[in-house]
A and B are shown apart, each in its own frame.
Chain A
Amino acid sequence: MPLESLGPWLAMIGFGAYHGFNPAMGWLFALSLGLQQKSSRAIWSALVPIAAGHAASVGIVAGLVYAGAHLVPLRPLRIGTACLLLAFGVYKLLNYYRHPRWVGMKVSLGDLFGWSFLMATAHGAGLMVAPALVGVTHGHGSHGMHLTPGPSLLFAVSLHTLVMLVVMGLIAWIVYRKFSLAVLRNHWINFDLIWAVALLVVGGVALIIAI
């Protein structure tokens, strides 16, 4: 498969790992619940609804991409998506330290789903992967991928979420089992700032590719 059609899929996998790595996206919450209940199982049972909430948020963007792909030609869709991402990136850069005001640690599975959905949406997790999703819808056809846009998008969101879940689980489990909580003091770099910059970089690259 040529790089042109492989690229968006690799991007979806890479973003999955990146979103999973971000402490504010879920693994830290799952870890704290595990410590609170003194159970590594609690970590995994928290991560599943967290991943589902994330998938729902990204899924909404995928739905919009699907609709866009039917309504707008490829080039304007790509440019539009990239511009939207850049605009959101600028907004996040100015407010990168702000989060939705969630309160509560006694959470049900539904709460965790809602929390994760809120965090992913507010931070623009779906928007970050939108250019890749546009690529996924147009990567099929003559290049040998035989999926239509709908199933392609569904598969892309699932793949992204699965990678995210695995990365979140690995990090939470390693910190729980192997490292002390000192990791949080010494190695928690300013992910909020990196995230805002990442939105801008992805938007910029997408714009260059589109033009």
Chain B
Amino acid sequence: MALWKPDPSFYPSPRMAMEAPPERLGYVATLNSRLQDRPDSISVVDLDPQSPSYSRIIHTLDMPYVGDELHHFGWNACSSALCPYAPHPHLERRYLVVPGLRSSRIYIIDTKPDPRQPNISKIIEAPEVFARSGYSRLHTVHCGPEAIYLSALGSGSDGEGPGGILMLDHFNFNVLGPWEIDRGAQKLSYDFWWHLAQDTMITSEWGRPSQFENGLVLDDLLASKYGHSLHFWDLRRRRNMQTIDLGEEYQLVFELRPAHEPNKSYGFAGVVLNLKDLSSSIWVWHQDGEKWAVTKVLDIPAQPAAAEDLPAPLQAFKAVPPFVTDIDLSLDDRFLYVSCWGTGELHQYDVTDPFHPKLTGKVNVGGIVARQGHPKSGGPLQGGPQMVEISRDGRRIYFTNSLYSRVDDQFYPPDMAGWMVKAVADPAGGLRLDPDFYVDFGLSLPHQVRLEGGDSSTDTFCYAS
């Protein structure tokens, strides 16, 4: 199980990780909720342009149960294994830790014998997760230096209790228990990540399971009952040190992307909706003396639209919101990619100065109104850029179009096809679609993408470049 030399996909610093070889395979969480009695799956996509099966699904690993709602997932180990205070450099980046957001089950998927045909090596059932941690509705997975961390959106017998973080053992994947000792004002949960060098964890807020499992509750949304705060935790003492309320008009605080360079202490958070004008926004957290502070650095406005072009929940507003539901930061901390799921745009911002993002590139695919097609799609596309993943060298950007089963159905037609596309980034700024890369998922819905060897939202680095 352990190696003699460190796993070659572990890098001490983000700058070194950018020199990693290009990924050849992508693993994609694939939702099959619209297909009768078909379990969700992990799709293996060929990303090697030299390969005859480039841009095709070369293997589908079905889960043994129906209805997991695969969503986010992550690697068992990554560059954080080199961190000096708890080094485990001879772990392997080998297993995908794949939770079911609806089922609360955790699949441990082995990519080792054949990375092109992974297999399930262990299943941790929901009752075990619940018995050992009290949590359910598992979401984000991050590989820490001394354990695997997962976020959960619910707790308690009905799942409506506070969400939080639980830990898995690095070696045998046993559930170690809940992570936090003092959650302070935190109740809602969603994404999390950290500044390891600052001993700080940051968590964001979506809502309680009953607020999303049957789709977004629009009355709750208009009444500001979804999450609108960021929480800053002492990673070492497991305490919530600070809660910052962005304002109740800001609803759904989603993805968190800290700067990768360990001696930078700022990061980006995406907020899906401003109730006042349906805009989305990007916020930067940063240090202000001993405390953390949050500053809004970007508003992305809604676009006017005719009521008859809009789905029922939006008709009264006569506008299509951008719905920024994922953001991702390149390993050099230079470019922030922003998915506008509603308008069908992927934006590239130069965030060299994090407080003044500059739009440097944009591609259009899908969109509630635009329905922009892809050169290979042969017609208009539904859905929009959603989960986005950046290759370690920052050159290739992959994204998929599904947000969450029931939310897809609220804003896009029930026959929306699933797709995955790729954009190519100019190192100096600029973005264009790869006309040869288009993966048609049919009625299956692709969500998060993980790249072979690591990507820009997996690894944490402990050594400054």
24 pairs from A and B in contact (CB 8 Å cutoff): A23-B84, A35-B463, A35-B464, A36-B262, A96-B2, A97-B91, A99-B88, A99-B146, A101-B147, A103-B86, A104-B199, A105-B83, A105-B197, A106-B197, A181-B12, A181-B463, A184-B463, A185-B6, A185-B12, A188-B89, A189-B4, A189-B5, A190-B4, A192-B90
Give chain B interface residues in 1-44, CB to chain A under 8 Å.
1-6, 8, 10-13, 16
Q: Is A98 part of the binding interface, using a Cβ–Cβ cutoff of 8 Å? A: yes
Question: With an 8 A cutoff between CB atoms, is B196 at the interface?
Answer: yes
Is B2 a contact partner of A36 (Cβ separation < 8 A)?
A: no
A190 and B85 within 8 A (CB):
no
20 further contact pairs, Cβ within 8 A, besides A31-B463, A102-B85, A106-B236 = A29-B85, A32-B83, A32-B462, A32-B463, A97-B1, A97-B90, A98-B171, A99-B88, A101-B146, A102-B86, A103-B236, A104-B236, A105-B197, A106-B197, A106-B199, A181-B13, A181-B463, A186-B5, A188-B82, A190-B5
Determine whether A75 belongs to the interface, using a CB cutoff of 8 Å to chain B.
no
Q: Measured between alpha carbons, how far is A181 from B146 in the docked complex, in Å?
A: 21
Q: Which residue of B lies closest to A23 (CB)?
A: B87
CB distance from B139 to the nearest CB of A (A): 21
The reply on A174 being an interface residue by CB < 8 A is no
Interface presence of B145 (CB below 8 A): yes
- The answer to whether the Cβ of A197 comes within 8 Å of any Cβ in the partner chain is no
Interface size band for A: 20 to 34
Q: Which residue of B lies closest to A105 (CB)?
A: B197
Question: Which residues A32-70 have CB closer than 8 A to chain B?
Answer: 32, 35-36, 38
A101 contact set on B, CB distance < 8 A: 86, 146-147
Q: Is the CB of A184 within 8 A of B89?
A: yes
Does B88 contact A97, Cβ atoms closer than 8 Å? yes
- Give how many B residues have a beta carbon under 8 Å from the other chain's beta carbons: 37
The 6 A-B residue pairs with the shortest CB-CB distance, nearest first, are: A181-B12, A104-B236, A29-B84, A28-B84, A35-B464, A32-B84
B263 at the interface (CB under 8 A from A): yes
User: Smallest CB–CB gap between B159 and chain A, Å?
Assistant: 28
Question: Which residues in B have their C-beta under 8 angstroms from that of A38?
Answer: 263, 464
The answer to whether A24 has its CB under 8 Å from any CB of chain B is yes
Give the residue name and chain of the A residue nearest to B263 (CB): A36
Name the residue of chain B whose CB is nearest to the CB of A194.
B4
List of A residues within 8 angstroms of B300 by Cβ: none
A97 CA / B86 CA spacing, docked (Å): 11
- Name B195's closest neighbour in chain A (CB-CB): A105
B172 CB to nearest chain A CB (Å) = 11
Contact of B90 with A106 in the complex, beta carbons under 8 Å? no
A88 interface contact, C-beta 8 A:
no
* Distance (whole angstroms) from the CB of A169 to the closest CB of chain B: 15
**CB within 8 Å of A: which of B173-199?**
196-199
B443 located at the interface, meaning its Cβ lies under 8 Å from any Cβ of chain A in the complex: no
B225-258: contact bitstring with A at CB < 8 Å (1 yes, 0 no)? 0000000000110000000000000000000000
Inside 8 A of A15's CB, which chain B residues have their CB?
none
Closest to A181 in B: B12
Which residues does chain B contribute within 8 Å of A117, judged by CB atoms?
A: none
B235 partner, pick from A24, A103, A107, beta carbons under 8 A: A103
Among residues of B, the one whose C-beta sits closest to the C-beta of A30 is B84
Please state if B87 and A190 are interface contacts (CB–CB under 8 Å).
Answer: no
Contact of A102 with B199 in the complex, beta carbons under 8 Å: no
Residues of B within 8 A of A181 (CB): 12-13, 16, 463
Output the least CB separation between B453 and chain A (Å).
13
Residues of B near A1 (CB, < 8 A) are: none
CB of A193 within 8 Å of the partner chain: yes
Q: Does A173 contact B (CB under 8 A)?
A: no
Q: Mark A18-32, 1 if CB is under 8 A from B, else 0.
A: 000001100011011
Per the bound structure, the CA–CA distance linking A38 and B12 in Å amounts to: 16
| A97/B171 contact (C-beta < 8 A), A32-B463, A35-B463, A105-B462 known | yes
Q: Which residues of A contact B86 (CB under 8 A)?
A: 99-103
Closest residue to A96 on the B side, CB-wise? B2
Given contacts A29-B84, A185-B8, whether A105 and B196 have CB atoms under 8 Å apart is yes
Inter-chain CA distance A102–B83, complex, in Å, is: 11
How far is the CB of B8 from the nearest CB of chain A, in Å? 7
State the CA gap A100–B199 with chains docked (Å).
17
Closest to A31 in B: B84
CB distance from B348 to the nearest CB of A (A): 29
CB under 8 Å from chain B, chain A span 160-211: 180-182, 184-190, 192-193
Q: A182 and B16: CB pair below 8 A?
A: yes
